[in-house]
Chain A
């Protein structure tokens, strides 16, 4: 019964008291009630509204419209945080690379044969999730995470030297990640460049037609005439949502596989490059 144990116990009790206070008297609102908040009613009303197109995102999926259209800047900076974390991981293991000539052949032949059957199925399911993210639950992150499970399975069952022989080295995975990020940037400023070259006004991250405001006033002076395509043959194409989902899935599959392969490097070469120094 040390002093630190008593302090930890008292801190747990204080946590219980403060959380109960937050749930009852704080500004959390009613929990599991029969009505939802007015902000949620506004979002659900505007996500597919052909009678009021000036505020609508024209896609039947509310969560994807909030993630990529109404709060698109949040998602853009979250993608850049993932990129910075992967660059940090590369900087920790700087100088280490996959060495050929080591006689390691991966796991046994039963594992290899069953992996050859399952990996194409996982890749197809993940691509299907990324393609119809604007019509049913799915999207960029979901499809990208599914596909990176398949490539991590490939890196574990066969060895990473086999991946290097098939030209899927560390530099290739980093290039795939950067191509995805470039596609996101190009799609987000596409309407703005159109407006600068051809006349008129447009916003960054603009999806459909929106109102125009003169500086320092709240009175609308017009409607921006540019919008992304929102109908494809016989079903809604969410405009900017479709292109963002595609680019995000490519970026995620490159970044997370790079992180998994970096942690699979062998101990001998890591010790030769980043070997520990002697301590007195």
Chain B
């Protein structure tokens, strides 16, 4: 049973790597600027989810719990039980920052592409001579 759970988890991890490879191919090989922008957002999402999957924790029996205390601890025994079943909170805090910064840069990129189209008349990098 434990080997089955480990196999399913490794499948999710490998699918993130495959998504990263497909999105990188889309950024390099497609000549339209809007397609490059869509593939760039997929690439950054896959890298962020790769960071979250590292902080996951299995337990031998039952589920692991989220990083929030269910009730205020009354004795040090409650604190020890919470530490033994909770997942790692540090990658979630770092990925929170990364998602918001990615949104800010993507909004600026959309404005730049609109101005590029107005100046050159096209959004294909093959038909533009800078």
Contact = CB atoms under 8 A, between A and B. Distances in A.
Interface string B55-84: 111111000001111001100100100110
A51 interface: yes
B24 A15 contact: yes
Contacts, number: 128
A82 B100 contact: yes
A49 B20 CA distance: 41
B1 interface: no
Given A74-B97, A85-B107, A28 B54 contact: yes
Interface in A59-93: 60-63, 66-67, 71, 74-75, 78, 81-82, 84-86, 88-89, 92-93
Contact of B21 (A15, A32, A89): A15
Interface in B92-109: 92-93, 96-97, 100-101, 103-105, 107-108
Nearest to A40: B88
A103 interface: no
Given A48-B69, A89-B107, A63 B89 contact: yes
Given A62-B67, A276-B119, A41 B100 contact: no
Nearest to B67: A62
Contacts of A141: 96, 100
Interface in A1-21: 4-5, 8, 12, 15-16, 19
Interface of B: 6, 9, 13, 17, 20-21, 24-25, 28-29, 53-60, 66-69, 72-73, 76, 79, 82-83, 86-90, 92-93, 96-97, 100-101, 103-105, 107-108, 110-112, 114-115, 118-119, 121
Interface of A: 4-5, 8, 12, 15-16, 19, 28, 31-37, 39-41, 43-45, 47-49, 51, 60-63, 66-67, 71, 74-75, 78, 81-82, 84-86, 88-89, 92-93, 136-137, 141, 236, 256, 259, 262-263, 271, 274-277
Given A31-B53, A67-B97, 9 more contacts: A5-B29, A31-B54, A40-B55, A44-B86, A45-B83, A63-B89, A66-B90, A89-B108, A262-B111
16 contacts: A5-B29, A16-B17, A28-B54, A31-B13, A34-B59, A44-B67, A44-B89, A45-B79, A62-B86, A63-B67, A67-B93, A67-B96, A78-B97, A92-B111, A92-B112, A141-B96
